[in-house]
A and B are shown apart, each in its own frame.
Chain A
């Protein structure tokens, strides 16, 4: 029982970061209808840039964090303008392929710049000391991660709900033509979506980088976002958050209970098995809008 609770708690922490990255992913999909296979590479770049500022250049934590976020926003804007805007209206396969190609380029860039060795934040930003909550032990860094992930989730939820820009983004997601006729710049909303998508992923990268260290495998983190958003419904932001948390817990539990039967590494593919099952029984996820087709 104690082991089970422990698994749920650690799963919840990783799941909160999944939720954060999945929110960026769902946001991009919702407003631009582009499915971003490079989300994981945004996570990777975020982790590396922050690490580079903090450990290699010796910038203090807060400026390093802010600088990483600024770079992520800038990257989102540039990529949207240069690569993704020409893709509007192209067939789905072209759009998918261009984000895959982007992922390849970004991954290669990271390897060229920083190599493939695992890098850790030194000195550690958050301590690894364990704190006891009843029967479960949680290390401090996990708590910080969980807190930060939820802080960002909350901030962006409020942003979509209450600010003018957030409302215009929801309008564009709902109906581009109507939004445009009401004087909302759809192009601007696309650009903002990409920059937010890049930003939350970069934050996710920094948070996970603090737990496990950073190397190229961090990009696989972005792949786990697919099960999360499919579970929640591809175009639902609350769905992405719930999906992220669920996938985090599920992969932890399946990983530790099935490993002995299947010979290790179940954690890596458990989310994808869940994904296939969801697609078979409920393709539009828990909160996704079911597409109704008329001839």
Chain B
């Protein structure tokens, strides 16, 4: 185990996985993720949770959370509209799929459509920052939400829109097991994309805009271009997540894409760690697993307190809120930073000074 970084060449400094150990663990993780579905069934039975379904949700949300993290964590632009943007992606994919477009064409188109919508609502970001931008994107959320609910000719209104399962070359991803591999591919792709974009020129420009936008402008970063670009890429990723969601759930309605989803997305990246690739992954795992885990004590508590299921949804929201508050007060940098501290401690142990 290395106790520091000792690079001899620039290529080593630039590599994504700099150490042999890290590469080993990444390969191990890859092998685990690829073989997981084959032994997921007995595990699910033992735990009483449908693990494949849980992992599929992880994958979809990871794509979206990476998108929001790029915008909020890396570029410093707050968005309270990503729930609705995900809905735009889902409906675009759903409508195109119903028109007979193939999966491989409908999904990117859903991403592009969402990117266009996101960029329109990102235009105020030129003049607005911080609080004002949060309010503007919140308004976008409500307006899009309204359109999804009331534009019945297009979206099917509150009765929902049925979407066929995804298929590539005649192979249908129509159950949890098959969709797992599709989701995994997209989640891994999004992770690699985010990891790489932060190492490029636009990525550094994003961080400069976040940290001190006046200085960034002075050294020649075009603020408007990079803010809009960040909105575009971020919405594209969320749109892809929405498209995947539509193909996975196969029936979409506006109820899923309310401000509550936007808040959940923000909570994911805050709990996980803003401006960190691993952060969005930890955040998604934490936030998606939490309600499932909470169900277990709720089931046992029903014997003592039979009404608990009636208030379970509220209880879950309350715990969600308390967790977010606790994180913001006690660990504002999120799980990724906590993990980093723990690892750094053991890496240098017993000489941790």
Q: Which A residues are closer than 8 A to B by beta carbons?
A: 35, 83, 86-87, 90, 92-94, 96-98, 100-105, 107-109, 111-112, 223, 226-227, 230, 234, 262-265, 268-269, 272-273, 275-276, 279-280, 283, 293, 295
Contacts and interface: CB of A to CB of B under 8 A. Distances in A.
A35 B139 contact: no
A283 to B, nearest CB: 5
A93 B150 contact: no
Contacts of B318: 104-105, 108-109, 112
Interface string B297-322: 00000000000000101110110111
A295 B218 CA distance: 9
B102 to A, nearest CB: 32
B301 to A, nearest CB: 14
Given A102-B325, A272-B142, A262 B314 contact: no
B128 A279 contact: yes
Interface in B322-350: 322, 324-325, 328-329, 332
Contacts, number: 128
Given A86-B329, A93-B274, A279 B136 contact: yes
16 contacts: A92-B134, A93-B270, A94-B270, A94-B328, A100-B266, A101-B320, A101-B321, A111-B313, A226-B135, A227-B139, A234-B132, A268-B146, A273-B139, A276-B139, A283-B127, A283-B132
A83 B325 contact: yes
B41 to A, nearest CB: 35
Contacts of A100: 263, 266, 324
Nearest to B146: A269
Contact of B128 (A35, A83, A283): A283
B214 interface: yes
Interface centre among B263, B267, B315, B325 (most CB of A within 10 A): B325
B124 interface: yes
A96 B131 contact: yes
B315 A93 contact: no
A264 B78 contact: no
A104 B135 contact: no
Given A98-B324, A108-B321, A269-B146, 18 more contacts: A93-B134, A94-B328, A101-B324, A103-B321, A104-B318, A105-B317, A107-B314, A109-B318, A230-B135, A234-B131, A234-B132, A263-B152, A268-B142, A269-B142, A276-B140, A279-B124, A279-B132, A279-B135
Interface string B274-306: 100000000000000000000000000000000
A121 to B, nearest CB: 23
Determine chain B's interface SS by DSSP, over half rule.
helix
Interface of B: 72, 78, 123-124, 127-128, 130-132, 134-136, 138-140, 142-143, 146, 149-150, 152, 214-215, 218, 263, 266-267, 270, 274, 311, 313-315, 317-318, 320-322, 324-325, 328-329, 332
Complex A-B, nearest 3 residue pairs according to Cβ-Cβ distance, in ascending order? A104-B321, A108-B318, A105-B321
Contacts of A275: 135-136, 139
Nearest to B121: A276
A56 to B, nearest CB: 18
Contacts of A223: 138, 142
Contacts of B149: 265
Given A93-B78, A97-B324, A276-B143, A265 B329 contact: no
A126 B225 CA distance: 56
A226 B139 contact: yes
B340 to A, nearest CB: 19
Given A97-B267, A97-B324, A293 B134 contact: no
Nearest to B77: A93
B214 A295 contact: yes
Contacts of A234: 131-132
Given A226-B139, A263-B152, A276-B140, A108 B315 contact: yes
A243 to B, nearest CB: 13
A269 B141 CA distance: 10
Contacts of B78: 92-93, 96
Nearest to B138: A226
Given A96-B78, A96-B131, A280 B124 contact: yes
Nearest to B152: A263
Contacts of B152: 263
A69 to B, nearest CB: 25
Nearest to A277: B139
B124 A104 contact: no
A107 B139 contact: no
Contacts of A276: 124, 136, 139-140, 143
A112 B315 contact: yes
A230 B138 CA distance: 13
A264 B266 CA distance: 30
A97 B138 CA distance: 13
Nearest to A275: B139
A267 to B, nearest CB: 11
A262 B130 CA distance: 32
Given A93-B274, A276-B124, A35 B134 contact: yes
Interface centre among A223, A230, A276 (most CB of B within 10 A): A276
A107 B320 CA distance: 12
Contacts of A265: 146, 149-150
